[in-house]
Amino acid sequence: MQITPATDALATELSGTAHATSVRYKVLGFLFALAALTYLDRLAISAAAPFIIKEFDLTPVQMGYVFSAFTLTYALFEIPTGWLGDRFGTRRTLTRIVLWWSAFTALTAAARGFWSIFILRLLFGMGEAGAIPNSACTVSRWFPATQRGRAMGGVCIGHAFGAALTPPLVFWLIGRQGWRLPFAEFGVLGVLWCAAWYWWFRDTPEEHRAVNAAESRLICGAGEARRDRSHAIPWKTFLRSRNIFFLCAMYFAYGYSLYFYITWLPTYLLQARGFTMTSAGLFSALPWVFGAVAFLCGGTLTDYLATRTGNKRIARCGVGVFGLTMSAVMLVLVALTENAVAAALFIALALFFQFLTTPSVWATCMDIGGHRAGVVSGTTNTFGNLAGTLAPIVFGYILQTLNSWTLGFYVAAGFLLVGVVMWLFIDPRRPLLDEEPAPAAAA
């Protein structure tokens, strides 16, 4: 038999000596870009808020409802769209998600008053729902268990990158174009991402031509074959799961604090701390720059502790307890300080410590969820965004009725401490599969 380069390469792969390809890191690059787009489109409204408030003559409470419109529908559609990714694959599901939200991002430029912008934000949130669960689902299929914390950390760095870019970019664009045109421009970016994703990506490594056998074995585990699994949502197991209950409660507390940065931060820096528009843009970006570092540190730390100790509870919950505790302390310092620059730095540190825990959250969802990682992530994110629906309205009412920004920081710190307690009851070592009733034995 004649040995050709093709048969020689095949023999090398079969012998297990071929180097693994790195297609999974290109997948991570797509997810990074997706994450940046989600926060670019999500935070554009907060940077534009002072100008929208002025043009439409909105009260703080009305603006709070505009902020919360997105998170309400985003939360309600998280579980269904997470399930769609588990059931039909994330190639088609994420394409639908990004096309929908990009359309309503662009249409925000056509808003004419409170009700029109409120309804557009409801539809925008409905469209963006599922982006994070489907990212987690993609990571669970494309990365080995020992790399998932870092992979989700990389995805989350995309969130921070988009969020850090948004305030100075939107303020700069508004100064030249007004507040409407940037929304249309951001919508076009999402369409371009969809075209590239749908053309290149495949739902599993086995389906992608560029993945060799060595990378496929690395992702799946030696000798582990992928099996067809049920995609039905085990509602009874979900409802009685201790892990799911405390994970969702923890993320509710996490989400309440997070949405101050996503909604009211630029307005706070302009109105309460007296920064110029340029300075407010830079200090609005600073927490997200700190957050990007935190995502990298948190992902590396949780994977290191998991490997070093062999105990996922220490690796996930330990990081969660430390990060949320320190974040609460920083928010109290924001409320206590009178110096504007110091307050801005404490805000950045508060988000750093909060985001240090984020890779642990999504790694825990994958630990618990297994092949239902999309649904578990969607369920968790639903509760985080229900809190995000509440937080901007509460901040608006406190500001309008008490004329106080300080009380809002104490409330957010209190929620974070509740999240610390919830982490103590979570056990990532117990997958959801272990809680499901065993099938009845054949007669």
CA neighbor of 259 nearest in space, from 393, 104, 114, 81:
393
- b/e sequence 370-384, b meaning 16+ C-beta within 10 Å: ebbbbbbbbbbbbbb
Q: What is the pLDDT of residue 443?
A: 36
The most confident of 189-198, 199-208, 362-371, by mean pLDDT: 189-198
For the ranges 140-144, 179-183, 396-400, 431-435, which has the lowest average pLDDT?
431-435
Q: Calculate helix-pair angle for 358-369, 277-309, nearest 10 degrees.
A: 50
| Percent of the chain clearing pLDDT 70 (strictly above) | 90
Q: What is the pLDDT of residue 241?
A: 85
Q: Kindly tell me if the per-residue pLDDT of 231 is higher than 60.
A: no
Task: Check residues 292 and 325 and name the one with the higher pLDDT.
Answer: 325
Residue 225 located in a structural domain: no
Q: Kindly tell me if the per-residue pLDDT of 14 is higher than 50.
A: no
Q: What is the pLDDT of residue 11?
A: 41
* Confidence grade of residue 233 (pLDDT, cut at 50, 70, 90): low
Cα separation, 263 vs 312, in Å, equals 34
pLDDT, mean of residues 235-252:
86
Q: What is the pLDDT of residue 436?
A: 54
Q: What is the pLDDT of residue 433?
A: 64
Return the structure tokens found at 153.
């950390």
Q: What is the pLDDT of residue 224?
A: 42
pLDDT, mean of residues 270-299:
88
Residue 343 located in a structural domain: yes
Average pLDDT score, the chain: 85
CA neighbor of 52 nearest in space, from 178, 207, 169:
178
Identify the domain containing residue 259 by its residue range. Answer: 23-200+234-435
53 close to 270: Cβ distance less than 8 angstroms:
no
Burial class (CB in 10 A: 0-12, 13-18, 19+), 95: middle
CA neighbor of 286 nearest in space, from 357, 355, 349:
349
Q: What is the pLDDT of residue 223?
A: 39
Residue 220 located in a structural domain: no
Cα separation, 336 vs 144, in Å, equals 45
Cα separation, 214 vs 169, in Å, equals 43
From residue 427, how far is each of 157, 242, 244, 255, 434 by CA, in Å?
26, 9, 10, 20, 12
Q: What is the pLDDT of residue 104?
A: 93
* Confidence grade of residue 148 (pLDDT, cut at 50, 70, 90): confident
* Confidence grade of residue 435 (pLDDT, cut at 50, 70, 90): low
What is the full DSSP assignment across 292-345? HHHHHHHHHHHHHHHHHHS-HHIIIIIHHHHHHHHHHHHHHHHHH---HHHHHH
| Percent of the chain clearing pLDDT 90 (strictly above) | 39
Residue 361 located in a structural domain: yes
Task: Check residues 381 and 330 and name the one with the higher pLDDT.
Answer: 330
Q: What is the pLDDT of residue 349?
A: 97
For 65-80, what is each residue's pLDDT tens digit? Answer: 998 898 889 888 887 8
Residue 169 located in a structural domain: yes
pLDDT, mean of residues 303-307:
88
Q: What is the pLDDT of residue 228?
A: 44
Q: Kindly tell me if the per-residue pLDDT of 17 is higher than 50.
A: no
317 close to 307: Cβ distance less than 8 angstroms:
no
For the ranges 84-98, 147-161, 179-193, 352-366, which has the lowest average pLDDT?
147-161
CATH number of residue 137's parent domain = 1.20.1250.20
Q: Kindly tell me if the per-residue pLDDT of 368 is higher than 60.
A: yes
Q: What is the pLDDT of residue 222?
A: 41
The total number of structural domains that make up the chain: 1
Residue 12 located in a structural domain: no
Residue 276 located in a structural domain: yes
Q: What is the pLDDT of residue 221?
A: 65
The residues, any chain, with a CB within 8 Å of residue 226's CB and separated by 6 or more, are 204, 206, 220
pLDDT, mean of residues 294-318:
89
Return the structure tokens found at 62.
């009305």
- b/e sequence 340-367, b meaning 16+ C-beta within 10 Å: eeebbbbbbbbbbbbbbbbbbbbbbbbb
Q: What is the pLDDT of residue 114?
A: 94
Residue 209 located in a structural domain: no
Q: Kindly tell me if the per-residue pLDDT of 105 is higher than 60.
A: yes
The residues, any chain, with a CB within 8 Å of residue 423's CB and separated by 6 or more, are 246, 250, 317, 320, 321, 324
